[in-house]
Structure 1
Amino acid sequence: MAYLLVCSLFLAVGVFAADPELVSDYAADPTATNASFFTFTAFHGDVTAAPGTFMVRKASLVEFPGLTGLGVSMAQLFFQPSSVNPPHIHPRASELLYVLEGSLAVGLVDTTNKLFVQKLGTGDAFVFPKGLVHFQFNEGQYAAKAISAFGSSNAGTVSIPATIFGSGIDDQVLSKAFKVGIDTIQTLKAAFAVKS
């Protein structure tokens, strides 16, 4: 009996950790909906990122309300040479990255602190499991483009460097955690300070 109770609790937690389940075909009034509700046009045209930078265009719940309750989203990624999508996590979704053009070095760190790194070329794909720290880096001399698909309409992104050094965590806490001087922490914080 206790076993069944524990299993029921785990199932309930799993339900709350996912996108809300739809009770209709889609999250809109069918009488007031047309094909535009299901169409996203913000991926038109190429983006030219500044030298050494990374840029992303998202099609998630915020940008595309038609995704409500569907459990999917995507993003276009643009990498100039020597640019990086810094270590980050998606707390609500796994990510499937597909390289459209160029090459990328990708990596993820699992919960045992094991690093997995792979070099990807045009046409290659790589999966990043939900909640694991991962990154992409264009170590080549040409621009690279990729597309990512997510198993949530709102995957969320937590950038590790920006979160740690740009969130206002006390200098002493970070100094002790990283075993470096407060001057080093302040230098890192200055790099992530929000410019007004």
Structure 2
Amino acid sequence: MLLCLVHLHLNGLGLSIAQLDLALSGVIPMHTHPGASELPLVVQGSVITAFISSVNKFYLKKLKRGDLMVFPQGLLHFQINSKGRKAISFASFCSPNPGLQITDFVLFANNLHSTLAEKATFLDTATVKKLKVVLGATS
């Protein structure tokens, strides 16, 4: 669970920074920033980070205090707290408006008809309906 997200725009500098506080076993789910690359720096705890390249290769790294990783613009990535205590990191973005698309919400928390979601994701009817209910979809 993500405890806290503070996002600061640095007016006129073309940058933004977010503080990410991850609870025990906390997860920042698979997502992308269509408008910027991300550079997370862990300042407390330990975080498992990964992104998927445009040729579907996973790049996985366990970050400890002082470590950082680059998530290239537009690529899917996630973060998981890997220790038994709260983890804190700061994510810098090369844009004041990096955007955010959380994959599960993009696919299932919308008004896309379930039959189209099934075809687009290769999931069965029951799974799509369950995900839509859990994520608050309108159809």
Q: TM-score, normalised by structure 2?
A: 0.92
Report the structure, 1 or 2, having the larger strand content. Answer: 2
Runs of 4+ in 1 over 4 A off after TM superposition: none
Alignment of 1:45-194 (within 5 A): 52-60=1-9, 67-68=11-12, 70-193=13-136
Could you say if the C-alpha distance between residues 159 and 96 of structure 1 is closer, same or farther in structure 2, counting changes exceeding 3 Å? same
- How many residues align? The count is 137
Unaligned runs of 5+ in 2: none
Shift of residue 54, structure 1, vs aligned partner:
4.0
Shift of residue 181, structure 1, vs aligned partner:
1.8
SS at match of 2:136: coil
Rg comparison, structure with higher value: 1
Alpha-carbon contact 2:32-2:77 (below 8 Å) kept: yes
Letter in 2 for 1:75: A
Shift of residue 166, structure 1, vs aligned partner:
0.5
Shift of residue 140, structure 1, vs aligned partner:
1.8
Alpha-carbon contact 2:2-2:20 (below 8 Å) kept: no
Alpha-carbon contact 1:95-1:128 (below 8 Å) kept: yes
Shift of residue 81, structure 1, vs aligned partner:
1.3
SS at match of 2:69: strand
